Structure 1
């Protein structure tokens, strides 16, 4: 245990530390709860985004069964050209948000490929956009997970370590000050009795 000065100045510092910890802990715990709630929402949103992306690919295959025709070259028809990511602040955590996705469609000869290629291109572009949104949502979940962990650690630090430590220090200092005060009183009484006795002896002489 760290040795601390057992005096009134240290007592004042420990009381201030305890008061600050008790003020700060409820706000910190509220932040932890907010982050946990947002993390849970983000998990659901990321799961829904990932499922939507996978569903778009499956639906593309179901709606356009001709995709199985290997003789038709579909490579490079759809390409993600650029993605603009913004931010939103949730309880002090900056989360990425998809603001814009630009998808380039490679020109293709309509006479060189069957008419259903148009539908394939549309569905592949949608799937690409949804996949990006899912990946960004999952990044947000990871950021929130880390923020929840850090905030929970700080809550535990205040609740389990700093506040109890300040309370113990205050008790130790109060006991030490009480012992010192009693010793001073006893010493003063002894000194007074000696002085009275000495004065009485002088008077008898």
Structure 2
């Protein structure tokens, strides 16, 4: 780090630094609050999605107890044909969301499969969509956590390092200049006394 110059020019620069840091800090703190709010929303959305997955899975076994029969072939009954992930910009952080999902059902004869397969296919689609949403919400939350950590580091840099450092430098320079001014006054008084004495 460069040695601090103890002059009026350096004092002026330090005061300007402090003012500019003071201007940036409130906007950083506001962004931090907004990102914390978005992270909380993402956590709540993820918890809600997981709760919904659990309740749908629990209700499947109540509504369709026949799923316990092991000789029924359900492989490929419902598959994801396509899905569309989009990204949105939340306070400078790109986060994904599930725009759409298209399922494909296996073709099966109505006489060859049990009558409840249609209902099962609907429930499977719902569970698969929820599980995809859960994965997307996990990514969204992870990105928001990184953004919160980054903005918190910036807020701390300004509030705990840069601003206090500028204040400390202003104080050091101010004290030095005040001491120099006092010393100058004392020297001039001594010089006047010598002139009057001599």
Fold agreement, TM-score > 0.5: yes
Which whole-Å deviations, capped at 9, do the CAs of 1:146-189 have from their partners, x for residues lacking one? 21122122111111111111100000001111222333344445
Q: C-alpha displacement at 1:54, in angstroms?
A: 2.6
Partner of 2:143 in structure 1? 143
Q: How does 1:33-52 map to 2 (within 5 A)?
A: 33-52=33-52
Instruction: Tell me the equivalent position of 2:7.
Output: 7
SS in 1 for 2:114: coil
Q: How many residues align?
A: 198
- Deviation, 1:94, is 1.9
| Counterpart for residue 77 of structure 2 | 77
Report the 3-state secondary structure (helix = DSSP H, G, I; strand = E; otherwise coil) of the residue aligned with 1:61.
helix
* Superposition pairs of residues 1-205 of structure 1, within 5 angstroms: 3-191=3-191
Cα offset, 1:55, TM superposition: 2.1
What are the ranges of 5 or more consecutive residues in structure 2 without an aligned counterpart? none
Report if aligned partners of 1:85, 1:96 keep a CA contact under 8 Å in 2: yes
Helix, strand or coil for the counterpart of 1:128? helix
Moved more, 162-171 or 77-86: 77-86
Secondary structure of 1:76's aligned partner: coil
5+ residue gaps, structure 1: 199-205
- How far apart, CA to CA, are the structure 1 residues paired with 2:50 and 2:81? 21
Q: Distance in 2 between matches of 1:109 and 1:9?
A: 88
- How far does residue 123 in structure 1 lie from its aligned partner after superposition? 0.7
Alpha-carbon shift at residue 10 of structure 1 (Å): 1.2
8 Å Cα contact 1:89/1:95 also seen in 2: yes
**Is contact 1:93–1:144 with CA below 8 Å preserved after alignment?**
yes
Distance 1:108 1:86 in 2: 33
Alpha-carbon offset, residue 192 of structure 1: 5.4
Distance in 1, Cα, partners of 2:57 & 2:33: 37
Q: 2-side partners of 1:55 and 1:124: how far apart?
A: 13
- On the 8 A contact 1:54/1:127 being kept in 2, the answer is no
- The DSSP-based 3-state class of the residue aligned with 1:46 is helix
